[in-house]
A and B are shown apart, each in its own frame.
Chain A
Amino acid sequence: MNINDNSKNQPEIAVDYKSFPDALGRFGDYGGRFVSETLIPALDQLDELYTRLKDDSTFQAEFDHDLAHYVGRPSPLYYAERLSRDVGGAQIYLKREDLNHTGAHKVNNTIGQALLAKHTGKKRIIAETGAGQHGVATATVAARLGLECQVFMGEEDVRRQALNVYRMKLLGAEVIPVTSGSKTLKDAMNEAMRDWATNVDDTFYIIGTVAGPHPYPLLVRDFQSVIGREARRQSLEQIGRLPDALVACVGGGSNAIGLFHPFLEDKDVSIYGVEAGGDGVETGRHAAPLNDGIPGILHGNRTYLMEDEDGQIIETHSVSAGLDYPGVGPEHSWLKDIGRANYVAINDQEALTSFRRLTQIEGIMPALESSHAVAYAEKLARDLDKDKVIIVNLSGRGDKDILTVAEIDGIKV
């Protein structure tokens, strides 16, 4: 593996990454606004609001203040020395998003969108959630702002993620189980969109990832980019230079785009997004549309999808509920096509092995989602010299996955 072969990491022509998405929300052929006419005025309104506030110094100061004092940012960039030595190769650094309030990167975005909601004066917040991390992060900010909060969650995920369901309830949110379709994240997103279309006058919809209709992929990216801005600065301060590679897991792709975006113009930094390989990409039982999907239209945007030959969305498989999604944020689809980022897959077994290894030799229990990124970083590090540096986004902590892992071990907790 030669990560210094820049031809693999760079588009052939110079790209002004900051100019994407365009006014219609497009990243090349991807993104856009594929929704029913009913939602268009609400999206226009959100777009106008965000365009006005994103360069407003008061709004940014408010956001930065909350990130510092409520979330606990900046999160550390931690040199995983024992892991690096154990792997034998490049130095692996972890961007510790698991140390954020609520235990994952999700809260960066919910803080930002809740601030937007406050500006609209809407009193009700809705969200979709898969693993429950975004639901918890939304319920948390809603509690803090005294807003009514309803979280849509597939019935199957409600069962798999009982702890997070109860966390949301304790935070005062109502969890609405979704029984349509495959009863997972994609159906929860359908249901949240339906609710929003019906109650758009008094309801703000906080989408949890960089997917959905424009402007969501833009604003979620911007709110999550604090991860990459910090990591870039920390790398320069702590290591004295930029890293050689970035690695992050990709479900919808918000933690990944948050890390990647501030580095896109640093052409010597290789970028790897890690999808959920499930039972293995070759089995078809996975959640890796960038590895084994085709461009299609779902949830308001054009992007790589997992679908059958009739254009029906198919069920995905992953040990990690947070990656169990048939689509991906449109900016990732674009970065794949223009060659700026590489998208790879890690299967369930590999992720579980890395979950245990990091827990045992660094005392850091990663979320199963983040374990996919750790697993790929280990592979990458092995083939690189000791002076190379890899930054992995440790997007969340693994406490929520303890029951899943115990079940795999045949242990009843």
Chain B
Amino acid sequence: MNRITQCLQDLKADGRKALVSYVVSGDPSLGATLPVMHELVEQGVNIIELGVAFSDPMADGPVIQLGHERALANGVSLRATLAVVKEFRQTNQYTPIVLMGYANPVLRMGYSEFADAALDAGIDGLLTVDLPPEESIELNLELKRVGIEDIYLIAPTTKPERIKKIASLAGGFLYYVSLKGVTGAGHLDIDSVAAKVSEIRELTDLPLCVGFGIKDAATAKSVGQLADGVVVGSALVSVMGDCAGASGKDVAKALVDVVKPLRLGLDEL
């Protein structure tokens, strides 16, 4: 069984919620990513989303854009990111890893070559922000060929028939984007999240993680009670921005203050 599905099943059996964290590979330094990944697991993160930097991150807000820019300035690439995951897998065989990014770097490598390389590195899922279902068939088939889950976004504006279409292609979990707009945007309207989540639940049995706008224990908790997991991104990448020049170990430590309260918040549910 794919690690993502296993992880979410185990958590559900324990009555716990998944904490999903997003950091950009190569941010704030190439060397920081591996220690950061291990520290995130140490602090109770269940699924790691690793951002693959792109020169034009059109769906991301200013905080994550800067993360992408820092990582690219450090010379990160899709291949370098796969290498970091391979290294991570030498000591961690259980934490699911999802790559999250934009289509062009994957297209440039070639969908088929990427699928093989990702499987070899120990990747469990891929979320390509700019490949909605109409555009993702080719890559979706390659991912299915190697057993990597294709993860899709659902937006507040996504209509029921589209949700069904997306769910028919998706694996692992569905990622509900709880706000209109870009990552790191404004405040969270929990009532509208609740309404949309129950709509999605009626249309699919796939686990549901909710992201965009989760930054502290309170938001994690209120969203966590509606979903199978919560995704935290900008709050972590923002810390990375303050870590210029810090050692990998120090960067990892700096994240503890953000992650720990989220885990505690979720575990109160």
Contact = CB atoms under 8 A, between A and B. Distances in A.
A87 interface: no
A286 interface: no
A190 B55 CA distance: 10
A41 B159 contact: yes
B58 A32 contact: no
A307 B130 contact: no
Contacts of B56: 181, 186-187, 190, 298-299, 313
Contact of A197 (B77, B79, B159, B182): B182
Contacts of A41: 155, 157-159
A185 B181 CA distance: 21
B59 A36 contact: yes
A36 B129 contact: yes
B131 interface: yes
B130 A311 contact: no
What is the predominant secondary structure among interface residues of chain A facing chain B? mixed
Contacts of B131: 34
Contacts of A236: none
A312 B101 CA distance: 12
A198 B181 contact: yes
Contact of A36 (B130, B159, B162): B130
B68 to A, nearest CB: 9
Residue in B60, B69, B79, B105 with the greatest tally of chain A CB atoms within 10 Å:
B105
Nearest to A35: B130
B145 interface: no
Nearest to A179: B62
A33 B134 contact: yes
B77 A310 contact: yes
A4 interface: no
A190 B58 contact: yes
Interface of A: 24, 32-38, 40-42, 180-181, 186-187, 190, 193-194, 197-201, 296-300, 305, 307, 309-314
Contacts of A313: 55-56, 104
Contacts of A300: 58, 130
A385 to B, nearest CB: 45
B108 A309 contact: yes
A305 B185 CA distance: 30
Contacts of A297: 102-104, 107, 130
B65 interface: yes
Nearest first, the 7 A-B pairs at minimum CB distance are A311-B108, A198-B181, A311-B105, A36-B59, A38-B155, A41-B157, A310-B77
Interface of B: 54-62, 65, 69, 72, 77-79, 102-109, 129-132, 134-135, 152-159, 162, 166, 177, 180-182, 185
19 contacts: A33-B134, A34-B130, A36-B130, A37-B155, A37-B158, A38-B155, A40-B157, A180-B62, A181-B56, A186-B56, A193-B58, A194-B61, A197-B59, A201-B180, A311-B54, A311-B108, A312-B104, A312-B105, A313-B55
Contacts of A201: 180
B177 A37 contact: yes
Contact of A312 (B55, B61, B132, B181): B55
A38 B104 contact: no
A312 B157 contact: no
Contacts of B78: 310-311
A297 B166 CA distance: 21
A200 B153 contact: no
A190 B69 CA distance: 14
A190 to B, nearest CB: 5
Given A35-B59, A296-B108, A297-B104, 7 more contacts: A32-B135, A35-B58, A36-B130, A38-B153, A38-B181, A180-B69, A190-B58
Contact of A296 (B58, B77, B107, B129): B107
Contacts of B77: 310
B237 to A, nearest CB: 14
Contact of A307 (B72, B104, B157): B104
A313 B153 CA distance: 24
A210 to B, nearest CB: 18
B180 A38 contact: yes
Contact of A37 (B60, B65, B132): B132
Nearest to B103: A297
A316 B182 CA distance: 26
B51 to A, nearest CB: 14
Contacts of A194: 58-61, 181-182
Nearest to A201: B180
Given A200-B157, A297-B107, A311-B78, A38 B177 contact: yes
Contacts of B166: 37
The listed residue with most B CB atoms (<10 A of its CB), out of A36, A190, A199, is A36
Contact of B58 (A24, A36, A40, A198): A36
Contacts of B185: 198
A311 B69 CA distance: 15
A37 B154 contact: yes
Among A197, A198, A311, chain B packs the most CB atoms within 10 A around the CB of A311
